[in-house]
Chains A and B, each alone.
Chain A
Amino acid sequence: MLLKLEPRGETSRAMVYLTPLLAIFLTLVMGAILFALLGHDPLEAMYAFFIAPISSAYGLGELGVKATPLILCAIGLAIGFRANVWNIGAEGQLTLGAIFGGGLALWFYDSDSIFLLPAMALAGALGGLAWAAIPAFLKLRFNANEILTSLMLTYVATLLLSLLVHGPYRDPDGFNFPESRLFEDSALLPVIVEGTRLHLGAAVALFAVLAAWLILSRSFIGFQIKVIGLTPAAAGYAGFRHSSLVWLTLLTGGALAGLAGLFEVAGPIGQITPVISPGYGFTAIIVAFVGRLHPVGILGAGLLIALSYLGGETVQITMGLPQAVTGVFQGLLLFFLLACDVLIRYRVRWTLGAAKEAKGTAS
């Protein structure tokens, strides 16, 4: 082997911040190569992918619209990942949020109460929370792996949504189309910036970032989560209850994802459709990692990944490139980040050079 990894005495603070930037840079280089391989001018394609979508106020609003569910889900996931709880079923929890909260909007279809929207948000959060409670219970009571159970429940949730929009949720005047009625104004999130689609949910996501930051860095619970993730044994000696942290992290993640799902149906979509998310719950895993499992980092990562969705749509329309490019970009970014992370705890040495050096200094 030419490369040799030498453990650092302590983790490098500089690299913690530098590696995401390095990963983004490498992803851009690979992206340019990918565009060239697909037969397009790389510079033109990169411009269309990354710059064009956000060169208008409307585009910036769309960025916020796409970032909102990503950030909400990623915050919840990051809290779990910090404590080594691997909830990867945010997509399912998001779907349940839409089913519960959106269902309330259909139930009180004629209502113009100002309490409808808050009630929907509450129902959405509860829906996601309930769905996340299943893997938590199965993990603690039966030792079942939460990665697999939360993922299986995502497939079940998607089928449940399909079942509902083909049945009870279907618009009675909709010529049998599998879609619900359009929500009334009282059930729709208000737009907060004129001329865009940026809705109140974005403000809630921002609030979630701040709240999570405070809780994780300043509270005893945040400290417990950190300890249990780094050294489970120490947490045990300190008397931290593992089970209550599993409950706490999974339920928080579920509630936030459920809220994200409700914001989609009560925001940009405005009704319940068979597909309410292009995989936000899965992409949020990437957001959480690129954001270093830190709320503020997640805010930045969420905006970046949201841009990749917009970019994918733009190149599809203007250059006829497949939308799958978005998924490839997102996967590459996480790959490069994980690869670059080695620099945080290790120094990379070229062994050929190092061997000579060792001979010369003989120390």
Chain B
Amino acid sequence: MIDTTAAILVTVVTAATPLVFAAIGELVTEKAGVLNLGVEGMMLVGAVCGFATAIATGNPAIAIIVAMIAGAVMAFLFGVLTLSLLANQVATGLALTMFGVGLSALIGQDYVGTPIKALAKLDIPVLSDIPLLGPVLFGQDFLVYLSLAMVAGVAWFLKSTRAGLILRATGESHDAAHALGYSVIGIRYLAVMFGGAMSGLAGAYLSLAYTPMWAENMSSGRGWIALALVVFATWKPGRVLVGAYLFGGVTILQLHAQGAGFAVPSQALSMLPYLATIVVLVVISRDSTRIRLNAPACIGKVFHPER
């Protein structure tokens, strides 16, 4: 019984980890005042590039780095359009997702069905043998720990560093930040590319660790769920973690319910994560004052120094 519970909890963590990466990256992007709806596309390109690199080199570390670079390059493209060429952020984000879906399918066509060894679990000696808590806390792959460190790092960066303060100022009032002499466009490029790298990492986690394989559209909406998580977290890093684990829980619960052979059709259970996203979004957004107070004031707005 303890073993089954531990196994379920371990999978909840692995299901949540890609959401943590993608959402924390998007949080930083949005804190700088940019709304990038291309998370899903960047994730897919990261997933396929990471997978292809892992096949070619056999080295998961290089694969993960390549996936992050791929995500960042996609985000850079978004930056060129929205920051330098002042395109509409919503439309460009949608374009990025559609482009990413197509591009990843094109790159990945020869890899469909190729098996790969999953990223190794660390299994810290002695500690991971503790019943229940051992495997959950000490028996994960290193990306899980990285995701936790990333949340803590972003929380510290935004709250306690000067650079974090400047980034937040850029998102709250780009005109004021500009008047103070900060490069609004430069800061936003960095924030957007950080978001892209994190989305790429989230994708790599999917194709290297969570389900070690490549399939077209394998992120199946996780990029969009990550976007909803940022709203759910009211732009606070710690709450991203809570939200992601909640969604990991729903995902795994419905998988186990399908396995246990409930009298409910499997498709109805598969709807649960998406329905949960809607419910969560509704519950959080209901209080429009709270959203207004927490959302970066300049989100989605075009910045041009001469306007």
Chain A interface residues toward B at CB < 8 A: 3, 5-7, 86, 88, 138, 142-145, 147-149, 151-153, 155-156, 159-160, 162-163, 166-167, 282-283, 285-286, 289, 322, 324-332, 334-335, 338-339, 341-342, 345-346
Contacts and interface: CB of A to CB of B under 8 A. Distances in A.
Contacts of A142: 282, 285-286
A163 B291 CA distance: 36
B277 A335 contact: no
A266 to B, nearest CB: 24
A330 B96 CA distance: 11
A143 B98 contact: no
Chain B interface residue bracket vs A: 35 or more
B114 interface: no
Q: Which of A143, A285, A325, A345 has the most CB of B within 10 A?
A: A143
A324 B231 CA distance: 32
Given A7-B307, A86-B90, A328-B103, A145 B285 contact: yes
Nearest to B87: A338
B106 interface: yes
B59 interface: no
B190 interface: no
B102 A163 contact: no
Return the 8 tightest CB-CB contacts between A and B, nearest first.
A327-B102, A331-B99, A324-B105, A163-B267, A338-B87, A334-B95, A328-B102, A324-B106
Nearest to B80: A339
Contacts of B277: 148, 152
B281 A144 contact: yes
Given A159-B271, A339-B87, 15 more contacts: A142-B285, A143-B288, A147-B37, A151-B221, A152-B228, A156-B271, A163-B268, A289-B91, A328-B103, A330-B98, A331-B102, A334-B94, A335-B95, A338-B85, A338-B91
Contact of B99 (A143, A162, A283, A328): A328
Nearest to B77: A335
Contacts of B285: 142-145
Contacts of A322: 105-106, 109
Nearest to A3: B84
Interface string B78-93: 0011001111101110
Contacts of A289: 91
Contacts of A153: 274, 278
Contacts of B268: 159, 163
Q: Which of A3, A138, A142, A152 has the most CB of B within 10 A?
A: A152
Contacts of A341: 85, 87
A155 B228 CA distance: 15
A88 B227 CA distance: 15
Nearest to B109: A322
A325 B87 CA distance: 25
A145 B285 CA distance: 8
B304 interface: yes
B261 interface: no
Q: Which of B92, B102, B227, B270 has the most CB of A within 10 A?
A: B102
A152 B220 CA distance: 11
B274 A156 contact: yes
13 contacts: A145-B231, A145-B285, A148-B227, A148-B281, A153-B274, A285-B94, A286-B98, A327-B106, A330-B102, A331-B95, A335-B92, A338-B87, A339-B80
B86 A5 contact: yes
A326 B103 CA distance: 10
B138 to A, nearest CB: 35
Interface in B250-307: 265, 267-268, 270-271, 274-275, 277-278, 281-282, 285-286, 288, 291, 304, 306-307
B101 interface: yes
Contacts of B275: 152, 156
A341 B81 CA distance: 10
B101 A327 contact: yes
Nearest to B286: A142
Nearest to A135: B278
Q: Which of B80, B86, B278 has the most CB of A within 10 A?
A: B278
B224 interface: yes
Contacts of B98: 282-283, 285-286, 327, 330-331, 334
Contacts of B81: 335, 338-339
Contact of A155 (B109, B216, B221, B231): B221
Interface in B154-187: none
A283 B281 CA distance: 26
